[in-house]
Structure 1
């Protein structure tokens, strides 16, 4: 057969026969060749050597190149040029060389070695980098003819569970807890438990969109009054704040406030911080709050507000509109409780020790700094300041007790008492 082929070549000189030589560079793919220098052994992969920042990475050497364009800049119809231009076919023509071609290819390949930090948009960020909680899932899908425009859904909790079934054994499930809102008072939450992660997220988002709640917003930025709500072992206390205060609360409560449209509020959580219980306690408290008009109709009185930024000038918030006139001072029972704060908390008084604003710490005032600092040192670093703490403790005692200690020096360090006489011979600190 080869003889007949050579005989044909001799008769047809325009046909050129070139032998093809095979080697490792033609038999092995590019992916296999790169794997030889980028792969790590199993022991090294367990130690994290494959994820190091300076490790060799795969490079796509075809970036920046096109089929038909090479060192010799030739125009090939059908590859880098059209086949027909007008009514005439495009010929094969050698163009002038491109001196910047190699430089452009080097820039593209060197760019692959640099570390590029991926920027995540704020809408896709969550509470932490390693957890999907807090990330946006987009707007819910339409249900029948109802569309959810301007809605956003956020993942509050995502966890994997295992359930033991008699004939099968352990079976894995994923649980998703999602909240949905439009920023104008509508909010809803839903939970789904399925075997597929994406299916649980989609189902929880649909369940949340089916059960929406309306939350009224006071002046478009805050709640109507302070409230306290408990759900199992989770207790939430929320307080109203003026414009510009912001959201100073737990991240789950702040996320719910953005979905609802609340911009200024303070919240404190006592007890267990369970994401589902925190969500339910907060929304139950919002649903139980009364508007200014409800308070005015319930008490049949005018609701007036005094603010320090307004020099305590009275501001009328609501008047009774149920067809009956407001009560006069003679019609009000002297023993009737008209304190708005106690009415909001159902007759209970707020514990001032757990007020919204943090109480002044022990090191804030000048007269408490000395005592509080040494109290902290004695509790945390007693090995290093034991001598100074003993001197301070003896210096704070009165003269009578000091004399009693001085009579029995065997029970105490004599050198400490000498230092005490040298440092504070006649100065005695009052007892704290």
Structure 2
């Protein structure tokens, strides 16, 4: 993921899994097809008709991409990963070798951001809420929404799991294999045990 801007055009690019396609500005679709990018989501804010600034911002964002080691050398800080599989304990991914390591009193506010927010400098794309329909407060619609409530955010979770490589394919066999591995890790104490309903196999029921 990266953020770039040129004049009044701001570009927010996010990675997407294989087969997602190109969801972006029509001019950026042509650029992605020319350079070989097949799956990406790009949100463009500001001026969308200044094609020169739009192209400059997108290409600049692609050229400014760097590895974790390059980021550690540029900022003089450790790049750590906090994963739920390790109880959110930090694991060092990259450390500065050539540049000196900064002390705590030398850090600025921008140095304390997460990696996902670091390249956007704390900026987030504007997501306007959709206008509510006229039937939003009717009893039938409220009951239907309540029935769909347990399945909320499933599509967003599916896209993120595929993009991060947690699940190779969104099939029943792949999801069942991943759930069995997570179950074995939870019973062995490798990952933190979640709390909720349906854990009778792990936690004994109270008689």
Normalization by structure 1: what TM-score?
0.25
User: Which has a greater percent of helix?
Assistant: 2
Relative contact order higher in (CA < 8 Å, ≥ 6 apart)? 2
Q: Which one has a bigger Cα radius of gyration?
A: 1
